[in-house]
Every structure is written in structure tokens, then in C-alpha cells.
């Protein structure tokens, strides 16, 4: 009797998560700020101090040598290179998804986007994951909840891969 009540509650909560969309899902499964390793040449000016200072669907995270408002649903490493409208000449790095590598560019000093890093090492830490995901050969009837959005959500040496019917962090070196 007790286990059937627990099972009913579990099924009901899963249905609510699927029906209510991202707001309820984020309450049950809050997204974490990406972890970036790499030495910063200098600390950048913080754009925020807490989540309340960010637009509605963004979170205040330490990212690329300063606190920035990030949309955790967005893949920063897929954003285009964007120099911004200002006229400064800062040597920066961006992740080029087409070539799967970090490339240098000149940043004007304002606006642009978050695919903008102080050094190649910080760029690689944020966007590069060694190894390749295994080919997914499963045909899905029902899509499962993704456990990661991109490899920045995963622990070191793991990569966010399509696995079975959703995304999850896999240890590429071990093949699991």
C-alpha cells in the first residue's frame, strides 16, 4: 500500500514536470553555472552580483574571469564571434564550433556576447571536451529529460552526449 502511494506520487510529479514546462523543471532540477578551469590574466568587471540583477531567465555566474548573467539554456560556445560596437582593441579568444577550436579575435570592449575569453586556455576549458560521443543507435518513443545541456555542465574529463533518449555526461576515455 505504502509503495503504491509513493509510486503514484512519483508518476504524478513526473507528469507535472513534463506538462508545466521549464519553470517547474528548473525548480525541481536547478541548473548549475558552468565550471571553468584556467588562469585569468586579470579579473574582469562583474556584470552582476546575484541572480536578481540578471534578466528573467538568466543566472549570475562566475564565467570567463568575472561574474556575468548567463542563459543556461543557451550554448555559449555555439555563439558567433562578436567584436561589439566599441573601438578598443582587446586580444580575445572565441570558440569556433565549425572548427572545434578556440580562435583569436579583436574585441571592441563592449557588448558582444559571452563567447569571448581572455585566453586560449580559458576558452578551451569552457568549450572543448576531448574525445567523441558514441553514436546513438536508439530510436526513442519518449524523449527523456536531458541531464546536461553541453559539456560545460559535466565534471572534468566528461562530455555531454546524446545517450539513449536524452543527454547525459559520459566519460569519453572509458567509453561510458
Largest CA distance in the chain: 70
C-beta separation of 157 from 172 below 8 A:
yes
Give the residue among 124, 119, 170 at the shortest CA–CA distance from 147. Answer: 170
The string of DSSP letters for 138-161 reads: PPPSSPPPPS-SSGGGSPTTEEEE
Reported as a single tens digit per residue, the pLDDT across 107-133 is 999 989 999 999 988 888 888 765 667
Reported as a single tens digit per residue, the pLDDT across 45-84 is 899 999 999 998 899 999 888 899 998 888 888 899 999 9
More confidently predicted of 171 and 136: 171
Mean pLDDT of 126-147: 72
Ordered structural domains, the chain, with CATH: 51-127 (4.10.410.10), 130-176 (4.10.75.10)
pTM, full prediction: 0.58
| Angstrom distance (rounded) from CA 162 to CA 171 | 13
Amino acid at each position: 500500500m505504502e509503495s503504491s502511494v509513493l509510486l503514484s506520487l512519483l508518476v504524478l510529479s513526473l507528469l507535472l514536470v513534463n506538462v508545466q514546462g521549464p519553470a517547474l523543471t528548473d525548480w525541481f532540477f536547478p541548473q548549475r553555472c558552468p565550471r571553468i578551469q584556467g588562469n585569468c590574466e586579470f579579473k574582469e568587471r562583474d556584470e552582476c552580483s546575484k541572480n536578481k540583477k540578471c534578466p528573467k531567465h538568466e543566472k549570475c555566474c562566475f564565467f570567463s574571469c568575472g561574474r556575468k548573467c548567463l542563459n543556461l539554456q543557451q550554448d555559449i560556445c555555439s555563439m558567433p564571434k562578436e567584436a561589439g560596437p566599441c573601438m578598443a582593441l582587446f586580444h580575445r579568444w572565441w570558440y569556433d564550433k565549425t572548427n572545434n577550436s578556440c580562435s583569436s579575435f579583436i574585441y571592441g570592449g563592449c557588448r558582444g556576447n559571452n563567447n569571448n575569453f581572455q585566453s586560449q586556455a580559458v576558452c578551451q576549458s569552457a568549450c572543448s571536451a576531448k574525445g567523441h560521443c558514441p553514436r546513438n543507435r536508439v530510436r526513442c518513443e519518449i524523449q527523456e529529460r536531458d541531464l546536461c545541456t553541453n559539456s560545460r555542465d559535466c565534471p572534468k574529463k566528461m562530455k555531454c552526449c546524446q545517450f539513449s533518449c536524452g543527454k547525459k555526461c559520459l566519460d569519453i576515455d572509458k567509453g561510458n
